[in-house]
Amino acid sequence: MADVILAGVGGQGCVLSARIAAETALSMGYDVKTSEVHGMAQRGGSVVCMVRWSEEVHSPLISSGSADFILAFELLEGLRYVEYVSREGTAIVNNYRLDPLPVLSGDEAYPEDTLENIHSVIPRMLVVEARELAVEAGNARAAGSVLLGALSSFLDFPADVWEESILCLVPGKAREVNRAAFMLGRKTSARM
């Protein structure tokens, strides 16, 4: 069983990655629940999706402070939702910064020490250059699959079940790129 938070920016692919993780857990025979974000929040806003699997799952929303994993698609968003993660949980963080509008407009500053702050409360942290690895796999938009690859190395689901979910849910030409991105992500955890 596991509770996973996926936090990022609208347009980064959190919803799709959440569905891939859910599909994989479902294939493994678990009861699975997810919660997604649609509509206005998707327009470049802060986005959080949740995936839970177990013998029986009740709430689609994860209790604050109890998630086993956070997949942070962006540094600031990782820090924003870190309170959902258990102190014994694992933070998988894309080392990637996207300035929100209040920062772009110069009204507020982007926090400088996001990684250090996340690490200060969640000791188990894996920093992933997901964007670079996704570019290596063929497309920067596949960063979510790199993060899923990293997540997969902490779980005992076979790689081919993950790949099956990716092939099933990612549309058209992007399939192979995402599969490659997943495999690159899966290898990164050795660096932790």
Footprint of another protein on this chain (CB under 8 A)? 9-10, 19, 22, 26, 31-46, 57-66, 76-77, 79-80, 83, 86-87, 99-111, 117, 120-121, 140
Nearest residue (CB) to another protein, 89 versus 185: 89
As measured in angstroms, the least distance from the Cβ of 191 to another protein is 26
Give CA torsion, residues 37, 128, 30, 57, to 10 deg.
-50
Burial of residue 150 (number of CB atoms within 10 Å: 0-12, 13-18, 19+): buried
As measured in angstroms, the least distance from the Cβ of 24 to another protein is 13
Nearest residue (CB) to another protein, 98 versus 183: 98
As measured in angstroms, the least distance from the Cβ of 140 to another protein is 7
Nearest residue (CB) to another protein, 140 versus 155: 140
- Contact assessment for residue 68 and residue 90, using Cβ atoms and an 8 Å cutoff: yes
Nearest residue (CB) to another protein, 26 versus 155: 26
Q: What is the DSSP string of 21-56?
A: HHHHHHHTT-EEEEE---GGGGTTSEEEEEEEEESS
